[in-house]
């Protein structure tokens, strides 16, 4: 078997969420990473301007995380997830739960954000059934929402390309309108100051149409991340919580991106000051060193489901790799680093500087909108005459050529610095994006 870092055959690997023909014609091959930087197969150094995929919050190869994984692999590489557990899994669950609003207490481990979302949807259905409200089977998502790629997540998600190829999905799913108007809110810093009921009156209409007795849960991202960093208007989540609670509808926050520091707080629920019934998480939970996700459930949901079954399995759900020992070890080390480095406070201090630097791109070629919250930033680009999405892809490629990795989705660009970045790290990311924009002009 060849040990060369450059493979001589690219045909076998089918890349996810990638234009495979274009990639294999000009592959971008990563062979190493340390701190803020990737190393490519051709020996270049490329700055990570997107925290991996929103997930490498401590940077790459963090010593606490790396050493914890090595120690764990030597001691216990795998333990069954069903009817067995490791002491460390209980410790990680406790550390995670301590960071969420009071009342959210019970953590169920998965292997990804997609699995976490499908788990949360199942918890919602099981909870209502256990309470004698088995008619509550409908879900409400949001246009342009992203909740992973399982059939549950695709169904409540609202991104057309993720949905249109795979059939109708779950029955009984409605979608709230996209809570951002670029004609009114372009270049807003932070939350737009607009009446959230402009977008939430549709929730009241959906409830009136189907009756609350048929609706299990509404699921949203605190900040719309994968679609390009769009921030709902001030008061949106608080009003959504108020409406859902009034009608006995569970609120699920998808915290896969916003969990563990992206907004300068432990999670979006804490940042926005609300208490949902369920939260999903993944990515930053263990610095993405080993695949891991989780759902945190309220005490009420946990108690209701467990008490409905006097003996035996209460929740028929789980994964072979739930609370995998290596993933848990990485999680405990990540949570230790977050605490010791004061990561949430650091992000809160750095966010205003990031905002200023990001919005300095206003006026650069093709930039029609800029949005930000915490250390998350989004750009919208004027579409290329040859078709939508081309300009965004061209910027992604040019930025990589110039030495920074960012994320494109159509003609939106997302920038998500590693959370322990310093001022100079942020400045270099923004400057490289600026140079890439000008190179396209």
User: Over pLDDT 90: what percentage of the chain?
Assistant: 98
Closest CA to 435 of 399, 411, 388, 391: 399
Q: What is the mean pLDDT of residues 338-356?
A: 98
Q: Is 373 helix (H, G, I), strand (E, B) or coil?
A: strand
How far is the C-alpha of 386 from the C-alpha of 107, rounded, in Å?
48
Lookup: tokens for 440: 């396209």
pLDDT band at 208 (very low <50, low <70, confident <90, very high): very high
Strands 138-142 and 215-220: parallel
pLDDT for the residue 432: 98
**DSSP 8-state code for residue 315:** S
- DSSP secondary structure string for all residues of 320-337: TTTT-HHHHHHHHHHHHH
Lookup: tokens for 363: 């006026």
Q: What is the mean pLDDT of residues 389-396?
A: 97
Other beta carbons within 10 angstroms of residue 304's beta carbon come to 18
The answer to whether domain 20-58+342-440 and domain 67-340 are alike in fold is no
pLDDT band at 7 (very low <50, low <70, confident <90, very high): confident
pLDDT for the residue 8: 75
How far is the C-alpha of 195 from the C-alpha of 192, rounded, in Å?
9
Question: What fold characterizes domain 67-340?
Answer: 3.40.640
Tens of pLDDT, residue by residue over 28-69, are 999 999 999 999 999 999 999 999 999 999 999 999 999 999
Contact 236, 203 (CB under 8 A): no
Q: How high does pLDDT run on average in the chain?
A: 97
User: Over pLDDT 70: what percentage of the chain?
Assistant: 99
Q: Is 36 helix (H, G, I), strand (E, B) or coil?
A: coil
pLDDT for the residue 383: 97
Asked whether residue 192 carries a pLDDT value surpassing 90, the answer given is yes
Task: Spell out where 102-152 has E strands.
Answer: 104-110, 138-142
Other beta carbons within 10 angstroms of residue 146's beta carbon come to 26
Tens of pLDDT, residue by residue over 273-282, are 999 999 999 9
Going from N- to C-terminal start, the domains of the chain cover 20-58+342-440, 67-340
How far is the C-alpha of 199 from the C-alpha of 193, rounded, in Å?
13
Strands 104-110 and 407-409: unpaired
How far is the C-alpha of 354 from the C-alpha of 363, rounded, in Å?
17
CA 62 to chain centroid: 21
The pTM of the full predicted model, rounded to 2 decimals, is 0.97
Tens of pLDDT, residue by residue over 89-142, are 999 999 999 999 999 999 999 999 999 999 999 999 999 999 999 999 999 999
Lookup: tokens for 79: 């333990």
Tens of pLDDT, residue by residue over 294-330, are 999 999 999 999 999 999 999 999 999 999 999 999 9
What is the H or E stretch that residue 200 is in? Answer: helix 197-210
Asked whether residue 335 carries a pLDDT value surpassing 90, the answer given is yes
Asked whether residue 2 carries a pLDDT value surpassing 60, the answer given is no
Lookup: tokens for 50: 């997107």
Tens of pLDDT, residue by residue over 221-269, are 999 999 999 999 999 999 999 999 999 999 999 999 999 999 999 999 9
Lookup: tokens for 35: 């701190």
pLDDT for the residue 12: 94
Question: What fold characterizes domain 20-58+342-440?
Answer: 3.90.1150
């Amino acid at each position: 078997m060849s040990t060369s870092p450059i493979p001589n055959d690219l045909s076998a690997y089918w890349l996810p969420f990638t234009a495979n023909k274009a990639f294999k014609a000009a592959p971008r091959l990563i062979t190493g990473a340390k701190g803020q930087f990737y190393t490519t197969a051709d020996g270049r150094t490329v700055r990570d301007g997107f925290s991996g995929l929103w997930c490498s919050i401590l940077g790459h190869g963090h010593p606490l995380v790396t050493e914890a994984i090595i120690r764990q692999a030597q001691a216990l590489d795998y333990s069954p997830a069903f009817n067995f557990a490791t002491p460390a899994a209980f410790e990680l669950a406790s550390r995670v739960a301590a960071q969420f609003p009071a009342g959210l207490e019970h953590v169920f481990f998965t292997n990804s954000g997609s699995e976490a979302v499908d788990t949360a949807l199942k918890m919602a259905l099981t909870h209502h059934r256990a309470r004698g409200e088995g008619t509550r089977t409908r879900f409400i998502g949001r246009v342009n929402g992203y909740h992973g790629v399982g059939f549950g997540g695709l169904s409540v998600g609202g991104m057309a390309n993720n949905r249109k190829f795979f059939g109708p999905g779950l029955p009984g799913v409605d979608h709230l309108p996209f809570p951002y108007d670029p004609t009114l809110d372009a270049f807003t810093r932070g939350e737009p100051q607009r009446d959230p009921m402009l977008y939430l009156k549709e929730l009241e209409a959906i409830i009136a149409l189907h009756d609350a007795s048929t609706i299990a849960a509404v699921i949203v991202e605190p900040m719309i991340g994968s679609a390009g960093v769009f921030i709902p208007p001030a008061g949106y989540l608080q009003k959504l919580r108020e409406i859902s609670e009034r009608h006995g509808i569970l609120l699920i926050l998808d915290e896969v991106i916003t969990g563990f520091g992206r907004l300068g707080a432990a999670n979006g629920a804490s940042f926005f000051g609300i208490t949902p019934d369920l939260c999903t998480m993944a990515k930053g939970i263990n610095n993405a060193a080993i695949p891991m996700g989780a759902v945190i459930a309220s005490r009420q949901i946990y108690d209701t489901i467990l008490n409905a079954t006097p003996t035996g399995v209460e929740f028929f759900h789980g994964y072979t790799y739930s609370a995998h020992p290596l993933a848990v070890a990485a999680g405990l080390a990540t949570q230790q680093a977050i605490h010791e480095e004061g990561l949430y406070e650091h992000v809160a201090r750095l966010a205003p500087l990031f905002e200023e630097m990001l919005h300095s791109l206003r006026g650069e070629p093709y930039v029609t909108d800029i949005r930000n919250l915490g250390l998350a930033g989004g750009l919208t680009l004027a579409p290329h005459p040859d078709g939508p999405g081309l300009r965004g892809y061209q910027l992604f490629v040019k930025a990589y050529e110039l030495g920074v990795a960012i994320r494109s989705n159509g003609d939106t660009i997302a920038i998500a610095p590693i959370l322990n970045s310093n001022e100079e790290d942020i400045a270099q990311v923004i400057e490289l994006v600026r140079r890439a924009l000008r190179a396209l002009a």
